[in-house]
Structure 1
């Protein structure tokens, strides 16, 4: 079997999904090959820049080799200006690669003015016209190297930015290797399959759609036995681990699927009905230690929606074997300075924390389970322990008014010395959210695969006003602006731990 991670996604760490599937197949005695088409395609575009008349693109093309090496060099991350220039120049080459044909690629996005990944008809068109894909010159020569030796092809489709390229490759395989079975899974596919009234529109192209954790369904399709999630270690050995754009190997690891809290009213996890399945904490730590010993990463990226209190408690006793970071909640345990020091001693370099709002009433209405006084103490404790904070804020929820949003601004100003980085997002209403049923809704995106719905804010604070507040008031506050300037461009939280 061939497992493919398609473009476009940030090429800074190996794809965890196909590595996890490879581990399950290996444990069941089956063989598979891994292809990080995302990394290969982006490096191919950078290595074959388009001819350009503008100075920026010519300069970027001339320096592309040096820039690639810079992003793999720890010294680059000690000089933000050098880092920013490398990222900007390389992304410029990606931007320009398909501009004449209406395509704009980048390290974290892919847009095609001709086709939308939100429309199943456009994805089918992408499959039919695969030779028009920006990536066709690459996959038309690279895929045949693998496909003559396999019977099944699996695509890990997680982001909208990957959808058009995925279906272009599917179209190529259907025409040139019609006997191969094509299986598609991943986070985006799971969200599609859990939309109300979902009917698979890709029956003529895709043989199997897998929603949710893919290990057990994939083993079943291949006639193998397995225990599903958590039955085996991820296997990264089939990936080019030295080529990712980071100062050493970042190794992703999932200690759970779903979210143990699973109560936030705005969250797609709750709206889609995704259940929580943790790897037992001692098993998770043992696996991280084994992976760290085998691959020697400079950083472990724990992918959980929120690292469980039980796993954080275990980190008080032992280290996972390498420096680590990931998402956590504002748990009461973090209000203990000694507990934060224990996490630091285990190797924690940064925690991503979803505060969403600096107004207590909004937090209560969103069922966040966060008390602002405790959040304030936690931020101070993490700073004192030497753990970085990447704080996530969400504006424009039905629970929030403009007055509430200014409370968030006040909270950030008061705690600016304890906040290393900020992620600012505008709220998108999930289609199947309980809040959607309580609001007057309207189409948000034009497409049958949209996962969100527009809505009329109950307090009249519409999206245009929210965006205006964030852009013209929140971001322009001097203390906030200073935090935002620290954010690594394009790679954001994936590279932020290296700027600690």
Structure 2
């Protein structure tokens, strides 16, 4: 270990921690800011650059989109040109900035004719993936480089590469960041040949099976660190050579792969240093920050979770919670997302005291009997608790017992009803496919969700994964006779055992699709309610909200798959026709305050173009866009999907739709 005095005496290199695309756009990623706090406390100059959010803002800025339109105007027909120009003029006016970026990304896709970048990753064509891991990475790097070049002209990139011998740490939490991180590493090396590029983060500590192959294939990478990165970066910053660091498992021409000891995590518990955060860049609508007390779940017994059980780090103390309160005051936070796997009810009481009255907060929780206390729930709600995210997993008690969850279905039912009544939003984590789960168990889960849909604000769905180190992983390895240390071979054998045929896998997928069908009308999926996004409606409150229309059009052949993919609620209506007897009408209910009236079947393809650009974004479709396209507008004065047909006037023109309740029949409502 290194003492503070040694570090201060020998330091001679600046450290720049870079968050590569694609990362969270709603709030900062926590890990680099914890690393910065550690390094700064040891006398090392360190700065953090979130290149991911900067790239999103660059690509979707009205100025850059307008330049792209101007360069391609000859290739756009009148409709597309008008649509894009109308959309660009509205990008800065959305109440929720994630919708502004979503709209910009859809415009970019519209202009390019293919997905370019999404919140989940780059639009890499399937054809670039091969059976060879390294070959696939190399091809994908070449594909994303044109997008990454947008970052080269930024002030942050210029500052980093102008520094003498900088250490550049690329913090990779998600697999989607690996390819752009490798592309960025190459650009850093090209611009600053004496820089030292270090790859690390949760991806290499938990998921990456082939770090040595990456090291050997990409010579822009000098060091890959698996495990805690604090002392590895500190060692490099004070002048140690990569080959001299502890834990070196592989070396190639002075470049190394290091597995740092896990117990290094015990050394440091300090507030994150958020001084480099550009808060307005993120999309949550305010100053929202992640925070962590513990890596390890205090329960630590669920068989499907490996947790972080390499050492016991004790329960969260009141002093640590007070440190959270100081962080919120120091950075004037509007909300805090506590990322711990689970927080006890007792600690939540301290959090409510520490953050009240200004900051809202969200935490993960185990549905334990303590949450049945209505006074506790009321205290948490008054103390800023915006949402509790419960590890529900299954509506079958038998499956919960197999998982060794230590929870009870009846208790879960009572907790979410009482929490919802207290004003706390409830998010449920749902899992399908746990070994031993039957169709009857899955039916019980669906039945539970349907029964409690009024109390479930949001949800996320996962399919069982055999996480190396977890109890069920080790149990299955022993049952199948495979070596648990050979993770790639072991997981392959486990999934072949769980899903021996395509039918078993399709069965799980069927139930995954059923959840939004059951909850879609009343609850939000994780795509609309994740990370700092959970606070957006509160932080954006009071701003002008743009509306989304009800789209009504006549079509002889309805493309149901398209409309259901883009909208939550679809009404199928039959209207008597002059010749065929009946005509099909699709009425898609969105905001229930405007309607787009189209003149017949010929309009369907144009509407699809409109929807593909704007349909996936909340509060994006506006009467401004519709009017710009020359369509008729009908303002709806009442809410309620069942009343929409009463408000359509009768048009004299035969090409327009005649929708009067007396001669229309709602055939079916599908969600």
Q: Structure 2-normalised TM-score?
A: 0.63
The one-character-per-residue Cα deviations of 1:84-107 (angstroms, maximum 9, x if unpaired) are: 6x464233135457666xx63112
Query: How has the CA–CA distance of structure 1 residues 498 and 234 changed in structure 2, closer, same or farther, with 3 Å as cutoff?
Result: same
What is the Cα-based RMSD across aligned positions, in Å? 3.6
Query: How has the CA–CA distance of structure 1 residues 37 and 155 changed in structure 2, closer, same or farther, with 3 Å as cutoff?
Result: same
Contact 1:429 1:455 in 2 (8 A): no
Equivalent residue number for residue 169 of structure 2: 154
Equivalent residue number for residue 125 of structure 1: 138
Say whether 1:269 aligns with 2:284.
no
Q: Which runs of 5+ in 1 are unaligned?
A: 74-82
Query: How has the CA–CA distance of structure 1 residues 456 and 448 changed in structure 2, closer, same or farther, with 3 Å as cutoff?
Result: closer
Contact 1:126 1:164 in 2 (8 A): no
Decide which of 298, 301, 318 is 1:282's aligned counterpart.
Answer: 318
SS state at 1:263 partner:
coil
Contact 1:441 1:455 in 2 (8 A): no
Query: How has the CA–CA distance of structure 1 residues 474 and 43 changed in structure 2, closer, same or farther, with 3 Å as cutoff?
Result: closer
Instruction: Name the stretch that deviates more: 388-397 or 103-112.
Output: 103-112
Say whether 1:469 aligns with 2:481.
no
Equivalent residue number for residue 238 of structure 1: 276
Deviation (angstroms), 1:153: 0.3
Equivalent residue number for residue 474 of structure 2: 434
Distance in 1, Cα, partners of 2:87 & 2:118: 17
The one-character-per-residue Cα deviations of 1:33-86 (angstroms, maximum 9, x if unpaired) are: 22110011111111233447375786356434743552557xxxxxxxxx86x4
Q: How many residues align?
A: 475
Instruction: Name the stretch that deviates more: 487-496 or 410-419.
Output: 487-496
The one-character-per-residue Cα deviations of 1:451-478 (angstroms, maximum 9, x if unpaired) are: 876333389871111112332x44333x
Deviation (angstroms), 1:173: 2.2
Equivalent residue number for residue 22 of structure 1: 36
SS state at 1:169 partner:
helix
Distance in 1, Cα, partners of 2:139 & 2:437: 40
Q: Structure 1-normalised TM-score?
A: 0.83
Query: How has the CA–CA distance of structure 1 residues 252 and 66 changed in structure 2, closer, same or farther, with 3 Å as cutoff?
Result: farther
Instruction: Name the stretch that deviates more: 117-126 or 212-221.
Output: 117-126
Equivalent residue number for residue 495 of structure 2: 454
Say whether 1:220 aligns with 2:235.
yes
Distance in 2, Cα, partners of 1:64 & 1:18: 34
Equivalent residue number for residue 439 of structure 2: 402
Deviation (angstroms), 1:227: 8.5
Equivalent residue number for residue 78 of structure 1: none
Query: How has the CA–CA distance of structure 1 residues 29 and 117 changed in structure 2, closer, same or farther, with 3 Å as cutoff?
Result: farther
Distance in 1, Cα, partners of 2:508 & 2:400: 18
Equivalent residue number for residue 361 of structure 1: 398
Larger Rg: 2
Contact 2:27 2:531 in 1 (8 A): no
Say whether 1:350 aligns with 2:387.
yes
Decide which of 45, 51, 65 is 1:31's aligned counterpart.
Answer: 45
Say whether 1:191 aligns with 2:227.
no
Distance in 2, Cα, partners of 1:280 & 1:27: 22
Contact 2:499 2:505 in 1 (8 A): no
Distance in 2, Cα, partners of 1:450 & 1:421: 34
1:309-458 to 2 correspondences below 5 Å: 309-315=345-351, 318-319=354-355, 322-430=359-467, 433-437=473-477, 454-457=495-498
Instruction: Name the stretch that deviates more: 49-58 or 300-309.
Output: 49-58
Deviation (angstroms), 1:262: 2.6
Deviation (angstroms), 1:141: 2.7
Deviation (angstroms), 1:170: 1.1
Distance in 2, Cα, partners of 1:457 & 1:488: 26
Equivalent residue number for residue 13 of structure 1: 27
Contact 1:123 1:167 in 2 (8 A): no
Q: Which runs of 5+ in 2 are unaligned?
A: 1-14, 240-263, 539-671
SS state at 1:89 partner:
helix
Contact 1:216 1:228 in 2 (8 A): no
Distance in 1, Cα, partners of 2:38 & 2:411: 41
Q: Which has the higher contact order (CA 8 A, sep 6+)?
A: 1
Contact 1:351 1:388 in 2 (8 A): yes
The one-character-per-residue Cα deviations of 1:399-421 (angstroms, maximum 9, x if unpaired) are: 31111111001111222221111
Distance in 1, Cα, partners of 2:329 & 2:468: 43
SS state at 1:429 partner:
coil
